[in-house]
A and B are shown apart, each in its own frame.
Chain A
Amino acid sequence: MHELSICLALLDQVQVIAREHRATRVERIVLRIGPLSGIESSLLGTAYPLAAAGTIAADAALEIEPAPVRIQCPECGAETETTPNRLACGQCGSIGTKLLSGDELLLAHLELAVADPDDRR
């Protein structure tokens, strides 16, 4: 239940990037979140407008791409898409699997409305 603090961290990053790009508005924010990050995407979506109110990103569309849980087995080489509590290899049962995807908690992509440098002359 720490989605609000994650939102605040997100907004800090977004505001820094928007400033660097002399953006006038943040139009779209794309996050990529896997279930093994421990963050509930729907709660994040609910918390976002509260956290973003009054910022340059207040009206941004927040899109959250779910990241599937995918594991790779170093023993038999199998690559499996699975669920957060079944991380042993789906083929041979090895517990030495490597997580390829599923624990992401990423700011992936931003779209900004930017001031035209020509207009500033």
Chain B
Amino acid sequence: MCDTCGCNVTPGNEHLVRAGGPHEHTEDGRAAVTVLKSLLTENDHQAAHNREHFDEHGVLAINLMSSPGAGKTSLLESTIAAVRHEVRIAVVEGDLETENDAWRIRAQGVEAVQIATGSACHLDAHMVHDALHHLDLSGVDILFIENVGNLVCPAGFDLGQHRNVTLLSVPEGDDKPAKYPVMFRGADLVLLTKTDLLAYLTEFSPARAEHHLRHLANAAPFLTISTRGADGIEPWLDWLRGELQQQRQRVRLGETVRPEIQPDGVRLHAGGQGHTHQHHHHHHAHGHGG
């Protein structure tokens, strides 16, 4: 339907439409079809379905992303321990191999489903959907989806989450947001982790890391935490409680929310079906034969 009203025509692609329009055919008789459809349409459709599923169960879904070893699983362990009596948590774990992270979560008394992606470098909406079949969401307040440790690929795939949280650990260096703009641009919250190591890695400047983040035109909160040092994780827990409260209110009102920055396909309403193919008359280079 978006193709009917033209709302998927953006300043970036309008020249494709204007150049002869969608009904064009080429000189040598081929049918020319203007499509203007995201390559991730299938994934985005499944992601929308996942999001509906979360909302039906009143669950806040959070996509946790970072490089390998930035502290995603440690953060989850500390979070579960801290809010055990106030919030019910479930976890979907994505890794190339092993069920190690799921066992760490289960040891905290929380349900966890492990997705072993094999060689896939990211989770997609279909993998998360399959995992949901093994997870009872009734009574769950927050579902964490711990993505594959990778600052590149996970950023491109909507899973149906409400919020993206990206971790940056001190040992990685403060220029990571400048090096991986796609990932950090899409974050609704950036957590600077392992701040207890700032005492040893004095070249790391939290202010510089935040500066790089702001230069991606991202105004998301930038919070410093440490699961081991004096900083603790209280700022993160406060953010989480606030988000949970907002999700509960949205569910009451029948509303939903998506991460602030959407992959291109979603911005173009790729959930809409079909593509432009009004008609495709074509010339015949060859004779019509009797």
Asked if A and B are interacting partners, one says yes
Chain A residues near B (Cβ < 8 Å): 1-2, 5-6, 9-10, 12-13, 17, 20-21, 23, 27-28, 30-32, 34, 36-39, 67, 70-71, 84-88, 95-97, 99-114, 116, 118-119
**Does B1 count as interface, using CB distance less than 8 angstroms?**
no
Contact-residue size bin, chain B (C-beta under 8 Å from the other chain): 35 or more
Chain A residues in 8 Å Cβ range of B282: 114, 116
A109 contacts which chain B residues (CB < 8 A)? Answer: 16, 32-35
Nearest neighbor of B262 in chain A, beta-carbon distance: A103
By beta carbon, the residue of chain B nearest A14 is B35
* Chain B residue at minimal CB-CB distance from A29: B35
- Nearest Cβ in chain A — how far from B21, in angstroms? 12
A86 CB, nearest partner CB in chain B, Å: 6
How far apart sit A107 and B158, CA to CA, in the bound complex (Å)? 18
| Nearest CB in chain A to that of B156: its residue | A38
Contact A95 B11 (CB under 8 A): no
Are the CB atoms of B153 and A95 closer together than 8 Å? no
Where the two chains meet, the residues of B that have a C-beta atom closer than 8 Å to any C-beta of A are 10-13, 16, 26, 30-43, 120-122, 124, 152-153, 155-156, 177-179, 181-183, 185, 212, 214-219, 263-265, 267-268, 275, 277, 280, 282, 284, 288-289
Contact A85 B215 (CB under 8 A): yes
- A12 CA to B126 CA in the complex, in Å? 15
Q: Which residues of B contact A87 (CB under 8 A)?
A: 181, 185, 215-218
The complex places the Cα of A1 from the Cα of B122 at a distance, in Å, of 9
Q: Are B218 and A95 in contact (CB under 8 A)?
A: yes
Is the beta-carbon distance between B42 and A2 smaller than 8 angstroms?
A: no
Kindly identify which residue among A20, A31, A34 contacts B39, using a CB–CB cutoff of 8 Å.
A31
Judge whether B12 and A111 touch: CB under 8 Å.
Answer: no
- Would you give the shortest CB distance from A19 to chain B, in whole angstroms? 12
- A37 near B263 with CB under 8 A, answer yes
Query: Which residue of chain B has its CB nearest to the CB of A23?
Result: B31
Across the A-B interface, give the 6 residue pairs with the lowest CB-CB distance, nearest first: A101-B12, A87-B217, A38-B182, A85-B181, A84-B181, A111-B30
